[in-house]
Structure 1
Amino acid sequence: MPQCRICGSAIEAFMSFGKMPIANGFLSPEEFDNEYFFELAPAICGNCAMLQIIEQPDPAKMFHENYAFFSSSSKYMGVHFAKFSAAIQEHHLARYDDPFVVELGSNDGIMLRDFAVQNIRHLGIEPSKNVAEAARATGVNTICEFFGEDVATQIVSKHGQADALLAANVMCHIPDLTGVANGAQALLKPRGVLVFEDPYLGDVIEKTSYDQIYDEHVFVFCALSVANAFGRHGFELVDVEPQITHGGSMRYTLAKKGAKKPSKAVALLIAKETELGLDRAETFDTFRQNCEASRDQLIAVLNDLRKRGAKVAGYGATSK
């Protein structure tokens, strides 16, 4: 039986979306016969409340020199990241004379640009070569690597420890959260903070947002699962802040245990999640039924349109 990537408990898929290809795998006709497929099947861990897909493609198949998504293509997200940057500077960096900020999965530098133009020491860590090169071209210091303890040690030896480690819509892509947590422990100063935001499991359940479950999202987080996952590695969840991006996201702030006092918002959100049943199997049985109902409704609409002789057109190629 599969095991939870966080705590090692036995897990079992509560549904399957069937065989799926790589979301950003835009192939030429000559490549169609060899296209890669995997079974997209999510599971919930009853022990640590982590929603995860059981089988995830090798990250190298998804994040590489031909990665298709450039964050700067979205003007809306540009505004959002500018606000994110401003919040970090106000709440976590203002007290320091020479702060140092690191971002995981920094893409084309859309968020770090705001630090760069203010001459704040910064470093982006981006595994996809093409977007890393685009970031460097705009003056954002970027290395092309997958983050882990070894990379963190190299950064510290060259630049010193960081005051803030940031990630936006990235942490849910990383199967080895243990490596990230250990790297963050090595990278951050004693009162440094790890701040990341990702699609929020509570919104996924309440809105039947099954589009958030796909190859790149190995996890869908909630406060319960974040506290469990990072608590195992010396971190404490000290703040949470809902975001409207991606149909509902959550920004999590973590610090080394004992370094900062948790806000009241953390306990309130965990209580709400427990009431919602984000750690109970029956919640996800209901979610599966809601997904199937959504599918059936769409099929009925399409069949009705076809009977009436209408044409259905699709536009766009989002991962989800």
Structure 2
Amino acid sequence: MKKCRICKSPIEPFISFGQMPIANGFLTREQFADEYFFELQAAFCANCTMVQLIDQPEPQKMFHENYAFFSSTSKRMAVHFEEFANHVKKDYLTSSNPFVVELGCNDGIMLQHFANSGIKHLGIEPSVNVARVANEKGVQTISEFFNESTAKDILGKYGQTDAFLAANVMCHIADFNSVIAGIKMLVNPDGIVMFEDPYLGDVIEKTSYDQLYDEHVFLFSLSSIKYAFEQYDMELVDIEPQGTHGGSMRYIIAHKGARLVSKNVYTQLEKEKEMKLNKVETYNVFRKNCEKSRDSLKQLLVDINKRGKRVVGYAATSKSTTILNYCGIGPDLIEFISDTTPIKQGKFSPGMHIPVRAYEEFMAKYPDYAVLLAWNHGEEIMDKEKQFKAAGGKWIIFVPEVKVV
């Protein structure tokens, strides 16, 4: 029996997506034969309520010098992170010479707003190529994986931090307990931890199962975060629901007793009980919903292809790896995936080996249908691609349900 990564209790598997490649592992034809696969299987812990992957590839297989995701590619996310930074500066940095640490700062998209204000800061980013971009922007960044040992080094060199931040990062780290232990050491007595990740409640509600892929080892809820931090005498003091990534939650944590706990926390914890996020039955229903969604999407694409229509994918996202592999969608159903990220262009999608081509190819000759693989940026994309619709193009969406728009 596998044990929970947080509390070491036995965990209950509730879904297997089958053999899955590295989500951001876009590859050349020559690399097909050596492609790495693992079983993508999720489980629920009834004791601490954490939803987690049973197995996760080694971090070095996912985050490295060729990491294919740069945060600054989305204009909407750039605005979101500027607002996040301004909120921290205005409401939480009260000392005369504050120090801010961001875990998984990527290309410096958020931390640059502290750097530009002359605020002492440090970014921690394990992927060497994106860390280099952050440093070039004037954002002081080290390329390391974060744990207790890294926290000790930072403490020795820089002292304690007033705000420890992260966005779409915490759910990536398998040894979450070591991260919390490091945070406890690094955050000063009046300091805060503020991080946001995809919210379990939204995933269950929308059947957005593509939030489960190699990098996302956890799907957090308030109750699981509360439990995890309480083990280290830290407490969840506030939350701020976010619309990003199809539904995220921002958690604000402090040392126990340092701040009052907002009523928002208690209200949302009650909602989680109503949603039965603490019951394994919820996840068995989720599995059935995933299977229905999979079969429906595959059948739709088969039917469209039978009618001789052209279908392409829009945006070669990490999430799309779960969708395409779980649904068995390959180049026979999707001609190519259009993407603006140069590092992905001319390569093939992980596992299913659909060609990834430059965005210009999408524009040069519009297809009949485009599968919106970056559904969480749907509004922004549809706004940008009004010409595609005007030319008679149709979007295929699969969250919260499979439909053509």
Instruction: Identify the TM-score tier after normalising by the shorter chain.
Output: over 0.9
In 2, Cα distance between the equivalents of 1:107 and 1:314?
A: 25
TM superposition shift of 1:15: 1.0
Tell me, in whole angstroms, the C-alpha distance in 1 between the residues paired with 2:74 and 2:302: 34
1:231-289 superposed Cα distances (whole Å, 9 cap, x missing partner): 11111000011000000000000001111110000000001001101110110111111
Quote the Cα distance in structure 2 between the aligned partners of 1:68 and 1:168: 17
Q: Residue 122 of structure 1 corresponds to which residue in structure 2? A: 121
Distance 1:315 1:236 in 2: 41
Aligned residue pairs total: 319
Amino acid at match of 1:113: Q
Q: 1:71, 1:309 → 2: CA distance? A: 37
What CA distance in whole angstroms lies between the structure 1 residues aligned with 2:209 and 2:232?
Answer: 30
SS of aligned partner of 1:123: strand
1:60 is displaced (CA, Å) by: 0.5
Match of 2:140 in 1: 141
> Whole-Å Cα distance in 2 between the matches of residues 239 and 205 of structure 1?
22
Residue 303 of structure 1 and its aligned partner are, at CA, apart by 2.4
Residue 200 of structure 1 is matched in structure 2 by 199
**Which SS does the other structure have where 1:17 is aligned?**
strand
Question: What CA deviation, in whole Å up to 9, does each residue of 1:38-97 have, x standing for no partner?
Answer: 00111111111101010100011000011011111111111000000011111110x210
Name the structure 1 match of 2:131: 132
What's 1:162 paired with?
Answer: 161
> How many Å apart are 1:299 and its aligned residue?
2.0
1:305 Cα deviation from its structure 2 partner: 1.4
Q: How does 1:230-269 map to 2 (within 5 A)?
A: 230-269=229-268
Rounded Cα–Cα distance in structure 1 between residues aligned with 2:302 and 2:27: 29
Alignment of 1:15-164 (within 5 A): 15-93=15-93, 95-164=94-163
CA distance in 2, matches of 1:40, 1:108: 28
**SS, match of residue 215 in structure 1:** coil
Q: Deviations over 1:126-167 (max 9, x none)?
A: 001111111000000001111111111111111111001000
Measured in 2, the distance between the counterparts of 1:178 and 1:299 equals 39
Q: What CA deviation, in whole Å up to 9, does each residue of 1:22-53 have, x standing for no partner?
A: 01112222211110000011111111110101
User: 1:14 aligned to 2:24?
Assistant: no
Which structure has the bigger radius of gyration?
Answer: 2
Q: Cα distance, 1:183 vs. partner?
A: 0.5
Map 1:156-305; keep pairs closer than 5 Å: 156-305=155-304
Query: Runs of 5+ in structure 1 lacking a partner?
Result: none
User: Which structure 1 residue ranges, 4+ long, deviate > 3 Å from structure 2?
Assistant: none
Tell me the SS of whatever aligns to 1:40.
Answer: strand
Q: Which runs of 5+ in 2 are unaligned?
A: 320-405
CA distance in structure 1 between the aligned counterparts of 2:107 and 2:305, rounded to whole angstroms: 42
Secondary structure at the aligned position of 2:112 is classed as: helix
User: 1:297, CA displacement in angstroms?
Assistant: 1.2
- Cα distance in 1 for partners of 2:156, 2:300 equals 59
Sequence identity percentage: 60
- Specify the SS of the correspondent of 1:16: strand
TM-score using structure 1 length: 0.98
- 1:281-317 CA deviation, whole Å, 9 max, x = no partner? 1101111111111111112212221332223222321
